[in-house]
């Protein structure tokens, strides 16, 4: 398999997820946490106070802090998805269903862990309708590289090593058939999550 083939496999998986969720674009990332980090970096949150539910996965405040933002918690019962206010970034780790995409947002999906609808063991994705951001995400996730053999590339961007492994993208592409019946996309309820109250931990707000 050539490097070009690996990129094609990833693109095929992204296109399947975009079609299923109703998003114009989808970008595969190695985890939902890193997807949220990239989305926040794309928006630019340096010094911005980001409000999130106090009961969520601990990586979310970590990514806000890594992106230069400040964490603010509030007591909010959520199901499936919530915004990182005031940004257009959404943690959608517990939702995966047909036509779920919300216009003008960056929705971050999770395929990590046994409770997720699409189980890859590891991985995530960013859904967006912003083409400029989509193109930035594709390079940012791969150390600033373009999707070509790196010996042929011209390095002119600083990025991160967040690219989804091609074997996971291949598995995801194959599993997407389970989300259709008779050619029609299936809908699923949100997954219920159980989390600690992170507002009790000063490390996130000090």
Contact predicate 141/160, CB 8 Å: yes
Cα distance between residue 32 and residue 13, in whole Å: 16
List, for residues 142-193, the tens digit of each pLDDT value: 999 988 888 888 999 999 999 999 999 999 999 999 999 999 999 999 999 8
Contact predicate 168/120, CB 8 Å: yes
Contact predicate 111/172, CB 8 Å: yes
Least Cα distance to 90 among 44, 146, 32 occurs for 32
Least Cα distance to 58 among 33, 41, 39 occurs for 33
Contact predicate 129/23, CB 8 Å: yes
The predicted structure's pLDDT at residue 2: 52
User: What's the burial of 8, exposed, middle or buried (CB within 10 Å: 0-12/13-18/19+)?
Assistant: middle
Give the residue, 2 or 141, on which the prediction is more confident: 141
**CATH number, domain containing residue 82:** 3.40.640.10
List, for residues 114-133, the tens digit of each pLDDT value: 899 999 999 999 999 999 99
Cα distance between residue 118 and residue 191, in whole Å: 12
Tell me: pLDDT of 196 over 70. Answer: yes
Contact predicate 27/10, CB 8 Å: no
**Out of 8-17, 28-37, 82-91, 142-151, least confident range:** 142-151
Tell me: pLDDT of 110 over 60. Answer: yes
Structure tokens at 138: 């594709």
Percent of all residues in the chain with a pLDDT value above 70, rounded to a whole number? 98
3: pLDDT confidence band, cut at 50, 70 and 90?
Answer: low
Contact predicate 167/57, CB 8 Å: no
Whole-Å CA distances, 145 to 7, 42, 136, 150, 170: 12, 16, 10, 7, 21
Tell me: pLDDT of 42 over 80. Answer: yes
Note down the domain range covering 122.
Answer: 3-204
Report the predicted TM-score, pTM, of the whole model to 2 decimal places.
Answer: 0.95
The predicted structure's pLDDT at residue 148: 82
4: pLDDT confidence band, cut at 50, 70 and 90?
Answer: low
Structure tokens at 16: 């399947």
Domain count for the chain, please give it.
1
List, for residues 55-86, the tens digit of each pLDDT value: 999 999 999 999 999 999 999 889 999 999 99
């Amino acid at each position: 398999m050539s490097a070009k083939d690996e990129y094609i496999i990833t693109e095929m998986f992204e296109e399947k997820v975009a079609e299923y969720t109703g998003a114009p674009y989808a970008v595969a990332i190695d985890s939902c946490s890193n997807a949220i980090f990239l989305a926040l970096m794309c928006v630019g949150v340096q010094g911005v106070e980001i409000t999130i539910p106090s009961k969520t996965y601990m990586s979310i405040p970590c990514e806000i802090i890594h992106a230069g933002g400040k964490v603010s918690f509030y007591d909010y019962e959520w199901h499936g998805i919530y915004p990182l206010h005031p940004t257009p970034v959404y943690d959608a780790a517990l939702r995966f269903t047909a036509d779920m995409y919300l216009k003008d947002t960056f929705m971050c999906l999770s395929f990590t862990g046994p409770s997720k609808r699409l189980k890859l063991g590891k991985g995530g994705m960013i859904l967006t309708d912003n083409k400029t951001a989509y193109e930035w995400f594709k390079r940012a996730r791969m150390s600033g590289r373009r999707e070509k053999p790196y010996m042929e590339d011209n390095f002119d961007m600083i990025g991160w090593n967040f690219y989804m492994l091609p074997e996971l993208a291949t598995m995801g592409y194959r599993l997407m058939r389970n989300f259709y019946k008779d050619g029609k996309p299936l809908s699923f309820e949100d997954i219920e999550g159980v989390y600690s109250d992170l507002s009790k931990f000063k490390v996130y707000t000090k």
